[in-house]
Chain A
């Protein structure tokens, strides 16, 4: 059973990091590295037949921290569905613009599309969550 919000994260590893601005390249690289750590942790636990809570699970859905909204739904639906039609793309663009305007997402997100945008937003949100969690502690 696969979540309807399946993020084709493994596809994001095909996106070239050099595509992104210097400001974000390190974050994106760190995010990809963190995803690899999750995969390695799963492998290690499966090898030991020891199913326990993953230490780095929160990386797998960085958008969980953003409150639910119509815009968020439209944007993520488009990003996670490769078969989306022109209507879905248009709605997603409007949604992205609205979220940037509200300050929920960064302006730089407007520069990217599809896989690059998904990777950018995932890494950006992940870094934000990480800092927030660090500040709480």
Chain B
């Protein structure tokens, strides 16, 4: 089965923890909200999905097990997409795939279509709705069309059943294009850190007449420049 490249999430995590925990110090309190926690959660679940997806076995003799495994795959891929969207929100970057139709080529955007697939193929199969109508999906099967299909029944008497099919390749293609956006965020964080360094290099630390005042000033500067507990926090604590 196709995989998502593991090195990218590792590189992303390294960047989040790099530079004296610059990201954590900046995002732990943004207007009273701890956005570092969102970053951590997103990173964790991307890693869980990327690591676990290769072990999902879509081909199983038992069709019920195969159905559940497909649901697991779709949920894992969706987790990656949702996490990337959350990260774009936290870093206040424009999410470039919001109006993308290139994979599923449907009137719905690719992200909305993916949600629709997720609902039909296991997360909400007994409670689907589309405007006024309600629908219900069968279990998924590899024996109808494309890679997997469900039959969708309407709640309206006499309305014909419909077959919805998916190709695993399309799911990966959609997910991969969102997953690769982590590179953009890595570069954004690096630029942000460089701007932070430049700003504080240009800010002169005031000179003090005596060492006691100097240590107090340095404590404050250390916190502003690198955060509590970072850089020389411990050494200044010993001098304080």
Contacts and interface: CB of A to CB of B under 8 A. Distances in A.
A10 B238 contact: no
B164 interface: no
B228 A1 contact: yes
A5 B238 CA distance: 8
Interface stretch (B47-55, B89-97, B214-222): B214-222
Contacts, number: 76
Contact of B211 (A1, A3, A13, A48): A13
B26 interface: no
A100 interface: no
A39 B201 CA distance: 18
Interface string A49-72: 101001001001100000000000
Contacts of B215: 10, 39
A31 to B, nearest CB: 12
A86 to B, nearest CB: 27
A51 B231 contact: yes
B236 interface: yes
B236 A42 contact: yes
Given A38-B235, A39-B211, A49 B240 contact: no
B232 interface: yes
A49 B237 contact: no
B235 to A, nearest CB: 6
A46 B228 contact: no
Interface of B: 20, 197, 200-201, 204-205, 210-212, 214-215, 218, 221-222, 225-226, 228-240
Given A38-B235, A46-B231, 17 more contacts: A1-B233, A3-B234, A6-B237, A10-B212, A10-B239, A10-B240, A36-B211, A38-B239, A39-B239, A42-B218, A42-B222, A42-B235, A47-B201, A47-B205, A49-B200, A60-B239, A61-B238
